[in-house]
Amino acid sequence: MKLHNPLEQRRSGVLLHPTSLPGPWIMGDMSHNAYRFIEFLAASGQTIWQVLPLGPTHGDSSPYQCLSTHAGNPLLISLDWMVDKGWLPEDVWQRAEPTTEWRLKILEAGCVKALASGDQETLEDFDRFCRGQAFWLDDYVNYAVLKERHHGASWTQWPLPLRRAEPAAVATELESSADRLQLRKFEQYLFFTQWRNLRNYAHSHGVYLFGDLPIFVAGDSADVWAHRENFAVDENGKCMVVAGVPPDAFTDEGQRWGNPLYNWPALEKSNFKWWLERLRTHFSIYDLVRIDHFRGLESYWEIPATSETAINGEWIKAPGAALLQAVQDSFSEMSLVAEDLGIITDAVHELRSEFAIPGMKVLQFAFDGDMHNHHLPHNHSADMVVYTGTHDNDTSLSWYQSASDQTRHLVRAYLECSDHDMPWALIRSAMMSVANTTIIPMQDVLSLGAGHRMNTPGTTADNWHWRFDWSQLEDHVATSLRELTERYSRLGDGNPVGSFQDINSWPLVERRIA
């Protein structure tokens, strides 16, 4: 099936990070359940699967603080796929341990077997991948192996020559680590190969993949270590100012993210080469991309590094128009979405409009009693992506149940519903919107309440670990979702009906899809 720009027609989709998929492992991945989820989307009339960033994470598991802006998270690699290739024993899942360390150890064993297998087709494909992705891959594997050798310490704590990424010092330090470097490269080859297969399967079912690009990158990352000239850090990686946002609806103290800010003059001088390479990777694996905190391309909140909160910051102008013009000049099609939530100025709206980038509306933000609230459906426009809630919100059912009596009254009056109709009354309202694109978090599709939140902004504990189970998906859900999708003309460009068999009849682990 030929796929067109997803933003040109009315359509809808579901927000679910792959780590939240069911399965027998420590977290969801690109195994069998990812393919079954695509079949569910097709059967329910959904033509978009939105995910969070897919990069390798730090210990807190946040996909918004990754070790690389290009690399894929090795924990998402399907071990079942490697069993099918003969690189792991068929009973590997029977010996599974509920730890990340076990998962990575087994992955490494499979990579060693694959590299020693003599499979010329795989090895030649791997070689092409390494050559084609060398612009980021070499820096990433050097950084990853050096981080291993220094027991996980941030690169800012490494010996000075390594901290400054001096080529001779890096080469000497890694002289005896050729096998480790090769393993890290092969993991990335596996990730991108499996993601390509998954994307092809999604396309065969009329489903687009919607990715997420954090505007800032983690300080402890291959990007800052290898290219600190693009960031507002000194030669040792120290920040005088850091990124965040001022107080908003989520927190009274704002959010101090702590990411290094950009050295925009240096980036402009290179015609934004680093940004264009970053987007090239994202456009190669997704059909459309959301720029998280789009507001930061117009002005960013600069916080003194010594400040413990985000209160004492100031807005600094950014060259977003010049960057987006460079992006537009470099790519034939720019399927971007702007996360334009929070404190948004006329200048931000003008920047988004200048480059025809759709913005976001969130129904959970709509019911404050102001009929001019731009999140209310009657104030939407076609160039929008409307959500019931995002990964940073509580589930819609929990949000409604914990809201004030006044807010619940406003919701019932506006949606003409009762308490028992939530969250599907909110889903129906999102589907009715004139906005071209509607995205529903999987938690709302499943009508889940308290205890199923993905992330609470401003906190670092108990986030990013939510998973669903197929037993939570009642038989009528796919049919109900498809009925709404058809009723409000959101089937897009001819999504096939699809076939979604009874999920309760599936064994825990089926044969994998090669």
Catalytically active residues are 292, 339, 392
Cβ contacts of 460 within 8 Å, gap of 6 or more: 60
DSSP 14: E
- Is omega for the bond preceding 423 within 30 degrees of 0, making it cis? yes
Write down how long the chain is.
514
Strand 359-362 relative to strand 384-387: parallel, antiparallel, unpaired?
A: parallel
Q: Indicate the helix (H) or strand (E) that contains 216.
A: none
61: left (phi over 0), alpha (psi -120 to 50) or beta: left
Closest CA to 454 of 463, 443, 445: 463
Residue given tokens 């264009």 in the structure block: 276
- Strands of 437-441's sheet in order across: 336-338, 288-292, 208-214, 48-50, 11-15, 437-441, 384-387, 359-362
Measured CA to CA, the distance from residue 407 to residue 432 in angstroms comes to 21
CA–CA separation, 158 and 140 (whole Å): 16
Q: Which runs of E-coded beta strand occur in 42-149?
A: 48-50
C-alpha closest to that of 41 among 482, 510, 508: 482
Sequence-separated (6 or more) residues with CB below 8 Å from residue 27: 19, 75, 465, 467
- Tell me if residue 273 falls in helix, strand or coil: helix
Calpha distance 385→37 (Å, rounded): 22
Instruction: Tell the residue number behind the tokens 């946002």, with chain if given.
Output: 245
What single string gives the DSSP state of each residue in 425-441?
A: HHHHHHHHSSSSEEEEE
